[in-house]
Amino acid sequence: DAGITQSPRHKVTETGTPVTLRCHQTENHRYMYWYRQDPGHGLRLIHYSYGVKDTDKGEVSDGYSVSRSKTEDFLLTLESATSSQTSVYFCAIRGGNSTYNEQFFGPGTRLTVL
Amino acid sequence: QQQVKQSPQSLIVQKGGISIINCAYENTAFDYFPWYQQFPGKGPALLIAIRPDVSEKKEGRFTISFNKSAKQFSLHIMDSQPGDSATYFCAASYNFNKFYFGSGTKLNVKP
């Protein structure tokens, strides 16, 4: 998975609790993305980062926050988890210096909010 | 409002047949159109991509056809194999920043 790890890989939590998902890369890529994948919706962008401390919102950012204090780590936080945030979360990275700017995806985190 | 619409939702093809998946978009500013392949339990992986200045791109058994005036693009898988059974996503991006994905097509290639 192109030097991308996500942790945890599986998590079950309860409504109202805070949750933080971690994406770690060893590729020194500039861009990092958080997506959620739900049946019938494909992948939807939550937030992305174009550098350390530089982030922007995606299509479905409500209820989520992100932080990137180091090039290699991009954290996704659900401040107060809701059942609608039950999903599979994917992190992706992109170098930003090649013609086609390929995105490489991590293995995913399956989050269940009860 | 979904930026990229994909069809069909599922597809069954016999081994050796041609699989065709279609996508349509509205935003004419999109300038990069990738296709991703995803196997169960894995993250998506880039399969093939096209820029809007060409009408077709072929890589092995996989071809993207792009119709700029109709704002449509499609993936053709020639000589489909059981190992091609996966979920396929089209996507679109402007300036490689935000990527917008279609809803996915689950392909099943029968032996």
Kindly list the residues from chain B whose CB atom is less than 8 angstroms away from the CB atom of residue A103.
34, 46, 99
Residue A99 has pLDDT above 70, yes or no: no
CB A23 within 8 A of CB A91: yes
- Which of the four pLDDT bands, split at 50, 70 and 90, describes residue B81? very high
Mutate to test the interface with B, among A43, A47, A54, A110 (most CBs of B within 10 A): A43
Distance CA A55, CA B109 (A): 41
Identify whether B82 is preceded by a cis peptide bond (ω within 30 of 0): no
Interface check A96 vs B, CB under 8 A:
yes
**Is residue B81 a contact partner of residue B109, using CB atoms and an 8 Å limit?**
yes
pLDDT surpasses 60 at A1:
no
- Could you report the per-residue pLDDT of B33-50, keeping only the tens digit for each? 999 999 999 999 999 999
Contact, A40 vs A24, CB < 8 A? no
Q: How far is CA B29 from CA A47, B32, B95, in A?
A: 21, 9, 9
Q: Which residues pair with B65 in a beta bridge?
A: B56, B74
**CA atoms lying within 13 Å on the CB side of residue B60:** 7
Cβ distance A107 to B45 less than 8 Å, yes or no, reads no
CB contact under 8 A, B99 and A33: yes
Examine the pLDDT at A100 and tell me if it is beyond 70: no
| Contact indicator for A90, A35 with CB cutoff of 8 Å | yes
Lowest mean pLDDT among A37-41, A72-76, B68-72: A37-41
Report the pLDDT value the prediction gives residue B23, as an integer from 0 to 100.
Answer: 98
Helix (H, G, I), strand (E, B) or coil at B84: helix
